[in-house]
Structure 1
Amino acid sequence: MKILSAQDIRTIEQETILKQQLPEAALMERAGRMLYNELQRVFGECACKAEILCGFGNNGGDGLVLARLLQQAGHEVTVYLLEHPTYSQDNLINQKRLEACAVPIIKINKASTLHFTEKSIVIDALFGYGLSRLLDESWAALFGQINATSNRVFAIDIPSGLRADEPTPPDALVIRADRTYTLATVKLPLLLPMYGPLTGDFVILDIGLDADALAEIPTNRLYSTSVAIKKIVKPLTKFSHKGTFGHALIAGGSYGSIGAIVLASRAAFKTGCGLVTSYVPRCGYQIVQTALPEALVKTDPAEQLITTYSMDTAAYKALAIGMGMGTAEASQQALYQLLSDLQEKEQAPKLLLDADALNILSLHQSWLSMLPKCSILTPHPKELQRLIGSWENDFEKLEKTSEWANRYQQIVVIKGANTAIVLPNGEIHFNSTGNPGMATAGAGDVLSGVIASLLAQDYSAADAAILGVYLHGLAGDCAANNIHQKSITATDIIEHLTDAWQHLLP
């Protein structure tokens, strides 16, 4: 799914009206009906009270349509409409339709006092995605009342005051929504961590925009949906064997941190890798052999840490390096020697670097030029900051990461909610799966094993990163169907990879 600017969305809406020969306000009617259908799921069989705050533009018009449909379905509705000298044409049409249904419209301004009914749903349809400027302090009293309510607040398209295409400062006036119903396509701020407290969870509603017009709009920001992901997945074939599905080397660990390699290796198997070799310090040999009898195990000469990668890397399709490894001087030099050796090979295995391998690279920035093209780096935000420097906001974080990925021709997986996969060609793919219960020790090690497994199975580096992140998050969602999110462990994610595959490749 494309992530589009406000101007792009307006263009597609106009193209849709022309190509589908829609009458006035028909697209707004679609949007309102989709909103109504979603709220009916929230309300269930109950008759509920909705208090809808409508602006003077098309976002307000969507709210007016919703008000009419809710009232016709037997719900109690109050409409607060911002006073303004000029309303959009479609907004005016729906004001008249609402009046014809005898739904009262209460005119409000910045100084108005709002009286919300206890337990009513408050719906924000004031400004939407078209707002390009910050709201001034004259709106503080009105917005303060909305944000102070104990009622649930739902926003239409994007919370009012939040800008769609550029950063919104932390102290800006923005309505805090518990949920956002975003129309046609997801808006970028809904995917960024810094705006999570303002947007809540979000639901994407399809309002039937013209597919051809949508396809013609270029963008380098994409949201991974199951439809797109299923196109990446390779089918199983009858005469496949373990060699068909590749051989991955999962390397790292140190005294006290061998579990990271066990998790990554087990995840690689569960994702479908044919062969997995775990490479650990000598102290990890018995642990891995006992915990994972399916794996081949090789050990470093040192007892407690990695000191060398002196093996034939040509025997492997993919290498995953760094989990639990530590940053001892000997481990740093071992990584340097590995990168040097890979530079000399015509057919080097695909490389994933995680955890301490990334921390070592941040200490030796000159080594970045040694990375094989399109290696996959999987930092969490702090590890990313050590690599690329600090940022002021999430927009700048994405911009700086994209510049870095292009400069070094690497793939960067920024781990977190809606994990972003940043490709060297400028594309950024945001993930749609996963849940807060996955914020647990070892989940990153599992992700490394999943992606390494896909690399070994001959997925391209970009596809392995995009599919791997989606599959990992989907396994976490499957786990959450059976286990409370507070109780999910990394092992639970691994055990539910089979359920995730069942969704993608039944």
Structure 2
Amino acid sequence: MGVKIYTSAERRRIDAYTIEQQGISSAELMERAGQQCAYWIMSRFSHSHPVYIFCGKGNNGGDGWVIARYLALNDYRVTVFHTHAADQLSNDARINYERVIHLTNISVMQIDGVAQLPLFDSNDIIVDALLGSGLNQPVQGLMSEIIHYLNQSDGIKIAIDIPSGLLGEGILQIGATAFAAQYTLTFQFPFLSFLFPENQPYVGQWYLIDIGLLSDFVTPYVYIDAKDIIIKPRLPFTYKNEWGHALLLAGSKGMMGAAILTASACLRTGCGLITVHVPSHGATVVHTAFPEAIVSYDHHNEYLSQLPTLNRYSAIGIGPGIGTADPTHQVVKRLLETASCPIVIDADALNILALHPDWLSLLPAHTILTPHPGEFDRLAGRSANSWDRFQKLIKMATQYQIIIVLKGHHTAIALPDGSCCFNSTGNPGMATAGSGDVLTGMILSLLAQGYPPEQAALCAVYLHGMAGDIAAQKQGLEALIASDIIKSIGKAFEHVQNSSAK
């Protein structure tokens, strides 16, 4: 399932396991890693770029020595700056150091201060192989000075495995030092820290470098891709009732657009029927803008005040645009107390829940919540940073046995068993009004079609992001709006189906 995400300690176990199972030495594994990184550089940058590689004393530095050798053997101009004498290097780093110092077309310099470093220009490639993933404390001394100097310099900046100074788990603390890479070449599995916004200025764009590591170990964290998405086949002899009847409780005065976007996304994702329960003044709006929907009238003109009969529906969604009027609070509570089918909760329904934290215990098992970070913090308490929020996310999903879709660049889907899946699709253009309503409609649709809640959340999040990516190719990031995402849902399904067929 997807790309597994391991902790730094688990990655070291995987290295050792691979070495044992494949009958190779650690130096041979290092050779693979450095070679593949060198090939990545050669595939993207011509010989016109001088390459400056910074090597520390550990195995990350050893990777750097291997990269230097392969680049030099392919006629790149390579300079290596190293921070420690040969007798201070790790065994594998020393082996590769000794393979390099005899080559006449590589410049090698041990440095003890940044005054020895040249001025770099924008054409230079700077490779960070200083510290790697073994770090367990803030960078200090010479390493900190070098990293700070490189961050202030021009150049194309590439980190090997993980930017020096960044931890594999957590976020960089305020005032701490880390190499600010444009590209990070990490070995086979992403680090968990790559997925949090505070670390993005240091990680840049990351690439997975396959070095033949064995991924037999179980992990609760996965980075999902198209092959994880299972779409139900459409058989010839079928009719609309077989594809579910969704109920959407949405809209209030001035917010009927949320109801229309959510309902439209729901049907576009394959649901057979949808009933939209709206304040009575909004019924004409829904009938006019979205004739495919069945409309249920609330007694109140401006907000939801009553819960319709639920027994005819296969899934229920609540929240988009409903506001927080007092009678609407009771609609949310009654739904939690009486619903017997899957539920997805979004937007103002989440804000109402946050005002009544004791209602969280009413959530039926496997209910799906779809907060953005602000809504989540209102539910779970203010978070110091995104890592703190992630810890609360996992705890809350397990405590209440629910599914929480925490929306963001790598949307996190926390499951009741404590596992978490991170999404690989989507783009910044999707940070636009109504995008979250579209996602809620897509989740509601898959729930109504009988997808298990975990699968419904996973598939909808991936398809939503893919639809956004397809729409962005047509509209550009700045011009992308929520209805563009809805129009691209069909192409997103095609993408997944084509990927599965390969």
Shorter-chain TM band: over 0.9
Offset at residue 167 of structure 1 (A)? 4.5
Q: Which among 459, 464, 470 is matched to residue 472 of structure 1? A: 464
SS in 1 for 2:426: coil
- For the 8 Å contact 1:235–1:505, the answer to whether it is kept is no
Flag the 1:79–1:279 CA change in 2: closer, same or farther, 3 A: same
Equivalences for residues 250-269 of structure 1 within 5 A: 250-269=248-267
Amino acid corresponding to residue 494 of structure 2 in structure 1: Q
Deviation at 1:137, TM superposition (A): 4.9
Q: Distance in 1 between matches of 2:310 and 2:419?
A: 30
Q: How does 1:253-332 map to 2 (within 5 A)?
A: 253-309=251-307, 311-332=308-329
From 119, 122, 128, the counterpart of 1:124? 128
Of 88-97 and 4-13, deviating more is 88-97
Structure 2: distance between partners of 1:116 and 1:268: 56
Aligned equivalents of 1:313 and 1:46: distance in 2? 68
- The CA distance in 2 between the partners of 1:24 and 1:219, in whole Å, is 23
Structure 2 Cα separation of the partners of residues 112 and 165 of structure 1: 33
| Change in 2 beyond 3 A, CA 1:113/1:277 | farther
1:225 and 1:480 mapped to 2: Cα distance?
19
Matched, 1:107 2:104: no
User: In structure 2, what residue type is equivalent to 1:107?
Assistant: Q
Letter in 2 for 1:125: A
TM-score, with structure 2 as normaliser: 0.94
Q: In the alignment, is residue 185 of structure 1 matched against residue 227 of structure 2?
A: no
Q: Deviations over 1:446-487 (max 9, x none)?
A: 110111111111111111111111111111122222231122
**1:111 Cα deviation after fit:** 4.6
Matched with 1:226 is: 226
Distance 1:450 1:109, change over 3 A: farther
Task: State how 1:106-505 maps to structure 2 within 5 Å.
Answer: 106-118=109-121, 119-210=123-214, 214-215=215-216, 217-227=217-227, 229-230=228-229, 232-309=230-307, 311-342=308-339, 348-505=340-497
Equivalents in 2 of 1:495, 1:489: separation in Å? 10
What is the deviation of 1:101?
3.3
The answer (yes or no) to whether the contact 2:410–2:423 under 8 Å persists in 1 is yes
Identify if the C-alpha distance between structure 1 residues 485 and 206 changes in structure 2 by more than 3 Å, giving closer, same or farther: same
Cα pair 1:3 1:187 within 8 Å, conserved? yes
Give % identity.
40
Shift of 1:321: 0.4
- Residue by residue over 1:6-54, the C-alpha shift from the partner in whole angstroms, topping out at 9 and shown as x without a partner, is 12111111121222122452222222232223223432x5632222111
Amino acid paired to 2:112: N
Report if the CA contact (8 A) 2:132-2:163 is conserved. yes
In 2, are the aligned partners of 1:113 and 1:142 still within 8 Å (CA)?
no
Q: How many angstroms does 1:123 deviate by? A: 1.5
Shift of 1:131: 1.1
Q: Is the 8 A contact 1:122 1:151 kept in 2?
A: yes
Amino acid at match of 1:329: D
The answer as to whether partners of 2:120 and 2:153 remain within 8 angstroms in 1 is no
Task: Give the conservation status (yes or no) of the 8 Å contact 1:139–1:173.
Answer: no
Deviation of the 1:352 alpha carbon = 0.5
Which AA in structure 1 matches 2:6?
Answer: L
Contact 1:51/1:116 (<8 A) preserved: no
Query: Which SS does the other structure have where 1:256 is aligned?
Result: coil
Q: Contact 1:319–1:350 at 8 Å: present in 2 too? A: yes
1:141-177 deviations in whole A, cap 9, x for unaligned?
2222111113232211111011113453121111111
Map of 1:34-113 to 2, 5 A cutoff?
A: 34-43=36-45, 47-84=48-85, 85-102=87-104, 103-113=106-116
Once superposed, what is the RMSD of the aligned Cα atoms? 1.8
* CA distance in 1 between partners of 2:112 and 2:403 (Å): 49
Give distance in 1, aligned partners of 2:108 and 2:213. 30
Distance in 1 (alpha carbons) for counterparts of 2:161 and 2:449: 40
- Structure 2 distance, partners of 1:445, 1:124, is 42
Deviates more, 1:490-499 or 1:232-241: 232-241
On the 8 A contact 2:171/2:196 being kept in 1, the answer is no
How far apart in 1 are the matches of 2:134 and 2:143? Answer: 17
* 8 A contact 2:245–2:448 mirrored in 1: yes
Residue identity matched to 1:456: A
Alpha-carbon distance in 2 for matches of 1:472, 1:461:
16
Query: Which of 21, 25, 28 in structure 2 is aligned with 1:26?
Result: 28
How far apart, CA to CA, are the structure 2 residues paired with 1:18 and 1:124? 28
Check whether the contact 2:224–2:422 (CA below 8 A) recurs between aligned residues. yes
Secondary structure of the 1:243 match is helix
User: Separation in 2 of the partners of 1:136 and 1:19?
Assistant: 37
Distance 1:246 1:58 in 2: 55
* Equivalenced residues, count: 493
Contact 2:427 2:465 (C-alpha < 8 Å) held by counterparts: yes
For the residue of structure 2 that corresponds to 1:29, the secondary structure is helix
Whole-angstrom CA distance in 1 between matches of 2:238 and 2:132: 52
Q: Note the residue ranges of structure 2 that are not aligned, 5 or more in a row.
A: none
Q: CA deviation at 1:207?
A: 1.3
